[in-house]
């Protein structure tokens, strides 16, 4: 669970590039506040946390999330965005632009 990670230390390590990046689906405090420092970092990807109830559901969600992450890594908007308002945020647009540049 998210409580086992010191998010302040994690944000510092990511900001100072102690390691390349992090993909997170649980947090110390949920829902994650919109002003959380992790959301402002270009080397962080957050995904929904969801525990599938069946094997078929697990396959479906794994495939859907993986496809979304691959699209984002190419600078494309993921399908099935739960909160479409995030698409208009300058920080999100900057991340997508950075990933597009890396693809070229």
Tens-digit pLDDT profile for residues 19-30: 999 989 889 888
Taking only the tens place, the pLDDT of each residue in 69-80 is 899 889 999 988
Query: What is the pLDDT, as a whole number, of residue 57?
Result: 82
Which position has the token pair 């965005």? Answer: 81
Active site residue 55: no
Say if residues 79 and 71 touch (Cβ distance below 8 Å). Answer: yes
Q: Please determine, for residue 2, whether its predicted confidence score (pLDDT) is greater than 90.
A: no
Q: Considering 12, 29, 49, 98, which one is annotated as catalytic?
A: 49
Query: Could you read off the pLDDT of 47-92 as tens digits, one per residue?
Result: 877 666 788 888 888 899 899 989 988 999 998 888 888 889 898 8
Domain boundaries, the chain: 1-49, 50-104
Say whether 49 is catalytic: yes
Q: Which of 12, 29, 30, 74 is catalytic?
A: 30
Residue 30 annotated to the active site: yes
pTM over 0.85: no
Cα of 35 vs its chain's centroid, Å = 15
> Residues in the chain, how many?
104
At 1 the pLDDT is 67
3-state secondary structure of 77: coil
């Amino acid at each position: 669970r998210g409580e086992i990670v010191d998010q302040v230390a994690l944000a510092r390590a990511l900001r100072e590039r102690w390691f390349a990046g992090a993909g997170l689906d649980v947090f110390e405090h949920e829902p994650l506040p919109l002003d959380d420092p992790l959301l402002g970092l270009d080397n962080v990807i957050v995904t929904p946390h969801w525990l599938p109830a069946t094997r078929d559901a697990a396959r479906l969600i794994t495939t859907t999330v993986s496809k979304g992450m691959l699209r984002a890594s190419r600078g494309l908007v993921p399908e099935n965005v739960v909160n479409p308002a995030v698409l208009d945020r300058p920080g999100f647009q900057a991340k997508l632009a950075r990933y597009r540049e890396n693809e070229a």
